[in-house]
Structure 1
């Protein structure tokens, strides 16, 4: 959206207005993003999980590596005593000696390496490399290369590989790599592996793993149904058609249910982002519009979802009477409880019942110091990482982003009084020396949300721009009328009726009821319905029957 902002115009991370160092991201995290319990009035934890799944379908930033592909160590004692040993791609997060969490580490910094620079074969500012396809195309399910797809496919009847460890239910295939960052020797002894999917982050947290599982089950259900009505179809045709339908369902749910929740109705209407109805086609593909991912989106605005994370993950039993909670940090890179009968269903009931945290500057301590800690006493501070990643990528300041979005110019902190939560603004003014120093991530989260949306106007502008380009820059968008990729009008009408509620009901058989709009909390206007309800329409697969010519 904007030219990158580097101190030297090429690669050196941004500095404060007067040339001094910006405040440490950890200082900003501690002083601005400390915890205050506040739940969303309207949205469930599933809104956070779905947003993460979408994110992993469209973004995966390549990281700088050392010799042999090893991780780069930036904060070792050896490097601390001899800065000349520090790798040029190190960009560590400075720590205060009095840091409330990390002061016992005996380290002056938190590990952080820069994202790999993308080769452009020309002079200019540093850019980053997206390893995912930017299109919302199910690459988190199917992978991004033919080789990855082959590894995930069963290569018969159009199916994806699964394992069936209990009660005939399909689970993701096992990851056989003992060094995948998730598998442990202890679990491998008992034939319990982490999982394999189209995106390597599948095991990052258990609600995300569950969504990956649901998507694979949905693909296989579609492939089986297509084979039933078209017995002459072979593996390749079954796989590609099931994939085409699943990607259409992913796109439809995202733009029918998720994006409106984030942006509110005004942006949806103004930019014509809402799906059509009843099998109507769109004709707004623009070959000159790039669907590539903006740094302002990937390294700042779309990370608003981290604010929605609850520190405790809820599980609810089948009778909806017993409720258990697990600390978020205990569910990261620890998907093994899914091998226990009924566990995945209990998490799905939990995330469709539990309120997400409010989108604001306040984060759970599980996010600001305990994430991915494993058996250690402390983990990473995701807020610090987000701020540092923005600086690494040359993301311009909050005030520059506002100007790019056509919002009123800000010249001092008091100009933001009408835009931001008063408590957050006071903390921001105490940390940053000048209003133009504010990091986009911190400033965007502090804004009051737009009407019926989750984020403030600056983030809404950035998110709307990206979701517009993802739709109108995609020649294979599910509502296209262009041949040969177009669905028939009747087929498209079926996809237009499909919903997230139906996706969950069809692929979590222990789930007997769900609210009509699962991203929103159970309420009078959003009642919990039995999965058999006609108000949650099923896909009529018979419309895909191929008749002999």
Structure 2
């Protein structure tokens, strides 16, 4: 089947800009129609006058355009265009969602009590180390080649992150010991607001506190953002930095207030939360329900952005026996949280499995270094800055560079078809990156390499590798052209300038083409997220913490798993199917298909041709039964829906009902109250699974909602995703359209960046000759297949970056260093 994603719905209220496009495109207003098209040929769109423009300028309106007769038009040069109004004027911006202020319960304690708790925690940490040694000696470890080995590789931590996490785990142990010293005086809901008054800076664990970077004047004035995200915020330079904690929209819900996953509301009456696998097989089904207008690039860009914004490492451990049974308590790693498989499971019972591996996420110290509950670590930066291309630290970035002419490394070409791919990297433990003989007909001993990139998950599927490949190629294309324009620029200058431009391109594509599909035009307008047609934004707010929130990474941004295609085909230049059907289970960490001559192009065309599944509670069995399956003979993998639900509990996310209320929906007092957003048949299933409406997990509740008006996702996930992208925009001092900042482009440069589209990136970095202008949308009369050289897919010029002496390229050379 194919899987799905969601788009945010909205009601339109707009202010039309009488000045149309004019200055932002480097043309006076009176030349607009001459260059783009004739207004008289366009109908009203959504009740508003429209003009003929290149389709990428109409992406925000596409859901209306596709249903408007005569919305296709001809640009002045005869190439296909699209009729649409000006972009709506942004609203003043809704307030950012923030954690409600905690009611502080005054705490009286002796310093000695804290140190005793720390001493006990260090003993527990030593025991954990001994346990890990013992488990290794007894070979209770991840089986090479297994689905769990691939999952561990997918979530592996860097050495630095492992140390940070172990220190944070000691602090978590200490907080738990400290709470226990108060006996029954503290309710779990009071724990965090109470113990957070204790600062680790005043204890023997002070060395584990996050160290805020020192940013000198040269760094703060540089037009180039730091690789690790530091020094973005002048007052709080650690905000958004890699290897720091996720933030929260609502206080965490841990059973004892520190680390134990939440219990059912009525746990004291013996009620328990249902097994995540039981929820998965009861609520989720596999149904082919393709979208009418949205292409698979929408799903793929979502994964691309996810790998840019978040990377949550886990401890390396195994939590079940090799034959899928529960381990004895003495054999269980303390960070294990295995998922129970029901005895009558319709799939796993044939293999005798009763246990699914699940290891908890790595911890992070709190930014304020206070005592308290578990917080999870983001190994990537918290910004939309293409850390998946470049890395989130200097070491990774350095390993990916050629150190010549600003370029990134590519595969050393053994033959022409292997050139311009991602460079070779590691493969999962005990697994080959070659397809099995049963799938490929080729001896798997052939030396097929997985790939290396700024993020370690680039090889998880061929489509992920291909999407990263085109952005790698675009960086090198930009560096090459910049070197031609500015022969005096050295490697560092070329690298930083190309990186700066590519990040801006990715941000523009995200907010202009992709985000309107997911959360909807009206939601974007309401929050002030619509891209500007001209001029500079002044939206930066130094008081906005840009960090990724736990509810986003642990639940809402996992909506895209519903969009995933289980089976797909590749397509040639004529959009004809080629080769056989591809089954996802056969391609996890299998890069062989990417190496085949011409296949990068065929994957790009496939992503533009095949629609996504509609966003709902339907998921392909390739993800619910066969995730990370390694070999046809294995016949089973993991269940991504179960992992998502368990991850929410691991991260201390509150129940779905809490986030409904936070996002402006009525808090449900009964299961029937959910019918306003969730189909009745699913509500009935919830009622048989959960003891209380307050027990429903955020992930399964969110994906079960009907899509909000004009959006892919339902109102709760729409709210959380919109808030996150608002923070990513308002809290980023280097956001691409800002004026008056160290990283600001000139007006001429920004005008060129606004011409970019995903179609232009794909056209310019492949041998594909024709694409539809809006690659996130399927082909239609308003989005026809055109030649890549057509003005329907505008190209940006790098001439505004040609340095005319110092300062001619937009800033003084004194900023560079």
> TM-score under structure 2 normalisation?
0.64
| Residue matched to 2:629 | 373
> What is the 5 A alignment of 1:40-59?
40-59=291-310
* Structure 1 unmatched runs, 5+: 66-70
Indicate whether 1:545 and 2:802 are aligned: yes
| Residue matched to 1:73 | 319
Preserved CA contact (<8 Å) 2:311 2:379: yes
Preserved CA contact (<8 Å) 1:44 1:519: yes
Cα distance in structure 2, aligned partners of 1:257 and 1:370: 32
> What is the 5 A alignment of 1:263-342?
263-278=519-534, 280-323=535-578, 324-342=580-598
Preserved CA contact (<8 Å) 1:165 1:339: no
| Residue matched to 1:533 | 790
Describe the SS at the equivalent of 2:250: coil
Cα distance in structure 2, aligned partners of 1:374 and 1:262: 32
Matched length = 542
| Residue matched to 2:779 | 522
> Of 77, 82, 100, which aligns to 2:328?
82
| Residue matched to 1:68 | none
| Residue matched to 1:110 | 356
Structure 1 526/184 Cα, relative in aligned 2: closer, same or farther at 3 Å?
closer
| Residue matched to 1:172 | 422
Deviation readout 1:465-500 (Å, 9 max, x if unpaired)? 100001110011111213431111000010011101
> TM-score under structure 1 normalisation?
0.95
Indicate whether 1:413 and 2:664 are aligned: no
Preserved CA contact (<8 Å) 1:223 1:242: yes
Preserved CA contact (<8 Å) 1:140 1:197: yes
Preserved CA contact (<8 Å) 1:162 1:172: yes
| Residue matched to 1:160 | 408
Deviation readout 1:114-143 (Å, 9 max, x if unpaired)? 112223343211110110101000100000
Indicate whether 1:216 and 2:441 are aligned: no
Deviation readout 1:103-123 (Å, 9 max, x if unpaired)? 133342100011122233432
Cα distance in structure 2, aligned partners of 1:77 and 1:365: 21
Structure 1 179/418 Cα, relative in aligned 2: closer, same or farther at 3 Å?
closer
Describe the SS at the equivalent of 2:517: helix
Describe the SS at the equivalent of 1:352: helix
Cα distance in structure 2, aligned partners of 1:146 and 1:317: 39
| Residue matched to 1:469 | 727
> Of 377, 381, 384, which aligns to 2:642?
384
Indicate whether 1:93 and 2:339 are aligned: yes
Cα distance in structure 1, aligned partners of 2:685 and 2:778: 31
> Of 127, 141, 166, which aligns to 2:375?
127
CA apart distance, 1:80: 3.7
Deviation readout 1:49-91 (Å, 9 max, x if unpaired)? 00000000010012123xxxxx333445798463232111110
Structure 1 405/181 Cα, relative in aligned 2: closer, same or farther at 3 Å?
farther
Cα distance in structure 1, aligned partners of 2:756 and 2:325: 55
Deviation readout 1:342-371 (Å, 9 max, x if unpaired)? 111111111111010111011111110112
Runs of 4 or more off by more than 6 Å in structure 1?
A: 184-188
Cα distance in structure 1, aligned partners of 2:545 and 2:715: 23
Structure 1 182/472 Cα, relative in aligned 2: closer, same or farther at 3 Å?
farther
Cα distance in structure 2, aligned partners of 1:535 and 1:106: 57
Cα distance in structure 2, aligned partners of 1:546 and 1:59: 36
Cα RMSD after superposing both structures: 1.9
Preserved CA contact (<8 Å) 1:172 1:213: yes
Describe the SS at the equivalent of 1:345: helix
Cα distance in structure 2, aligned partners of 1:36 and 1:430: 22
Structure 1 188/228 Cα, relative in aligned 2: closer, same or farther at 3 Å?
farther
Structure 1 198/46 Cα, relative in aligned 2: closer, same or farther at 3 Å?
same
Indicate whether 1:353 and 2:353 are aligned: no
Deviation readout 1:134-183 (Å, 9 max, x if unpaired)? 10001000001111011000000000001234436411111156859664
Cα distance in structure 2, aligned partners of 1:213 and 1:180: 25
| Residue matched to 2:111 | none
* Structure 2 unmatched runs, 5+: 1-248, 437-442, 807-817
CA apart distance, 1:434: 1.6
Cα distance in structure 2, aligned partners of 1:464 and 1:236: 35
> Of 256, 263, 266, which aligns to 2:512?
256
CA apart distance, 1:455: 0.5
Preserved CA contact (<8 Å) 1:264 1:453: yes
Deviation readout 1:257-276 (Å, 9 max, x if unpaired)? 11110011111101111111
Cα distance in structure 2, aligned partners of 1:101 and 1:178: 25
Describe the SS at the equivalent of 2:507: helix
Cα distance in structure 1, aligned partners of 2:465 and 2:426: 16
Cα distance in structure 1, aligned partners of 2:635 and 2:625: 9
